[in-house]
Amino acid sequence: MKHVNGWICLVGAMLCCLTAQAQSAYVLTDGNTSGEVTFTNSLGTAELDGTMIVFEGQLDADITVDATTGTNGYSLASLQLLTQIKLFDELPASNEVGTAQGAVAALRDAPESTTGTFYAWGSTNTVTPVMEWVPLYQSDGTTPFDVTDGSTNYITFVFNYTSNRYQVFIGDTPTTQVASDTVTSLTMGGENGIDGVSLLGVGGLEEFSTASGVVGPLSSTIGFSVYATADGILIILDPVDEQSSGWFTVLANINGNWVEVGKVQADGSGHYEFLAYPGLLQVGQSYAFKVIDELGNPHELGDPVEIKSIKMESVVLEPDVMVVTFNTETGKSYQVISAESVAATTWTATAIYFPTAGGNWGYGS
C-alpha cells in the first residue's frame, strides 16, 4: 500500500490483489441477518485484539446485499460497520479505489494532527462527470464530519440504486449516527446491490450488519402526503419506528434551493397532520420534498409531488338528493361531512351512495 497511515472503506466492488496470497481469515456474524461472513486478510498483516480485527494492508469480504424496494419507492441496500479509523496523510489514488460503488476515507487536517475530516468517493462535476474524493458533508450540505485518529465509529452506507447515489451515516453508537448529504456515484448504474467490501490501509473492524430496502440505520421510512385545504397546505407524515422526541422538518426544493416549509415535534403517535408555512407552496405546482426525521436522517422523495386539492367538478340538486362529483386519487379513501354553514364548528359524517364497478351503487358515510 502506498499510504500506511490511513484507512479506507470500499463498498460494492471487490479489489483484485495479485501481489499476495490470503494470510488469515476471520468470521463475523451479520448483526441483522445472523449470517456468517468471512473477512480475509489478503494483503499485509492482521490479528485479533479482543473482538476487533486489527489489520495493516487489506481486509476483504464477499458480502451480498440485494437491493430491495423500500416503502419510500427506492431500491436500497445497506451495510453498517463498526470500525477503528486511522487518518490518511493524503487521500488514496483513484487506482486504489477502483470501481467501488462508494467509499469513505479520513484525511488528516495537518501534519502531526490527531484530527481529520471524512471524504467520500463520488462525483460533483456535472459538466465532465468523474469519480473523485469529495468532502463528506452532513445532511445540511455545509457541516463536515470531523474524526479523531484511532476513534471507533459506526459507519453505515445506504445505496440508492433508483437514483445512483448513496448516503453515509456516522456516529459512535448506532442510535447517534448522523446522516450525510447524498453522494452521486457513477459506478452504480446497472448494479442491483452490494457484492463486497474492502478495507485498506491501517485500521480495525469489530462488527458489521446488512439490510435491504432500509432508508437508514434508524427510522425505517416516512409516509408523506401534501394537500391543499381551505386553511392552507396540509402536510401528512406517517413515520415508522420513531426513535426520539425530536422534530420532523419538511423541506421543499423551491427554485433550486431547499427551503424549510413546515415542521412538527415527534410524540410517538406515528401520524402527524400540520399546515405548511404560508406563502411558500402553490396549489397545482410540483415540488421535490425532503423530510428530516426526529434523529436528523433525511428521507428524500424520489419524484416531485404535486400539491392537489379536492375540487368539486359539479353539484346537481335533485328532489331529496344532491349529487356531488369530485376528483379522487387511486388508493385514497374519502369521507363526506356536512354542516349548516361553512363557518360551523361542528361537522357531521353524511350517509351517501356512491357508484361502484359494474354500474352498481354502494352505501356508506
User: DSSP assignment of 45-74, as one string?
Assistant: EEEEETTEEEEEEEEEE---EE-EE-TTS-
Q: Is 311 a residue whose pLDDT tops 60?
A: no
Q: What CA–CA distance (Å, rounded) separates 14 from 62?
A: 8
What is the mean predicted confidence (pLDDT) over 153-180? 88
- Number of C-beta neighbours around residue 89 at 10 A: 15
What is the mean predicted confidence (pLDDT) over 24-30? 92
Q: Is 106 a residue whose pLDDT tops 90?
A: yes
Q: What CA–CA distance (Å, rounded) separates 151 from 88?
A: 14
Q: How confident is the model at residue 177 (pLDDT cuts 50, 70, 90)?
A: confident
pLDDT value at residue 2: 33
pLDDT value at residue 19: 38
Average pLDDT, the chain: 82
Q: Is 13 a residue whose pLDDT tops 60?
A: no
pLDDT value at residue 1: 31
Q: What CA–CA distance (Å, rounded) separates 132 from 15?
A: 17
Q: Is 23 a residue whose pLDDT tops 80?
A: no
pLDDT value at residue 3: 34
Q: Is 117 a residue whose pLDDT tops 50?
A: yes
pLDDT in tens, 179-236: 888 999 999 988 899 999 999 989 999 999 988 876 554 344 577 788 888 788 989 8
Give the number of residues written for the chain.
365
Q: What is the pTM of this model?
A: 0.60
Angstrom distances, CA of residue 146 to CA of 123, 128, 138, 170, 355? 21, 29, 10, 10, 61
pLDDT value at residue 18: 34
> Which is higher by pLDDT, 140 or 48?
48
Q: What CA–CA distance (Å, rounded) separates 200 from 96?
A: 9
The rounded Cα 74 to chain-centroid distance in angstroms is 9
pLDDT in tens, 37-82: 999 998 889 999 999 999 998 999 999 999 988 655 778 899 999 9
Quick one: 298 exposed, middle or buried, by C-beta within 10 A (0-12, 13-18, 19+)?
A: buried
pLDDT value at residue 71: 54
Q: What is the largest CA-CA distance in the chain?
A: 90
Q: What CA–CA distance (Å, rounded) separates 163 from 131?
A: 16
> Which is higher by pLDDT, 165 or 21?
165
Question: Backbone dihedral region of 225: left (phi > 0), alpha (psi from -120 to 50 degrees) or beta?
Answer: beta
pLDDT value at residue 225: 81
User: Do 196 and 102 form a contact (C-beta atoms < 8 A)?
Assistant: no
What is the mean predicted confidence (pLDDT) over 119-135? 92
pLDDT value at residue 302: 59
- Number of C-beta neighbours around residue 252 at 10 A: 24
pLDDT value at residue 121: 95
pLDDT value at residue 339: 80
pLDDT value at residue 17: 35
Mean pLDDT highest for which of 85-89, 218-222, 284-288, 359-363?
85-89
- Number of C-beta neighbours around residue 49 at 10 A: 10
Which amino acid is located at 60 in the chain?
Answer: D
pLDDT in tens, 334-343: 778 888 776 7
What is the mean predicted confidence (pLDDT) over 139-149? 90
Q: Is 327 a residue whose pLDDT tops 70?
A: no
Of 23, 9, 16, the C-alpha closest to 86 is: 9
Residue-range domains of the chain with CATH = 7-212 (2.60.120), 221-306 (2.60.40.10), 312-364 (no CATH)
pLDDT value at residue 219: 45
SS3 category, 89 = coil
pLDDT value at residue 295: 65
Q: Is 293 a residue whose pLDDT tops 80?
A: no
Q: Is 345 a residue whose pLDDT tops 50?
A: yes
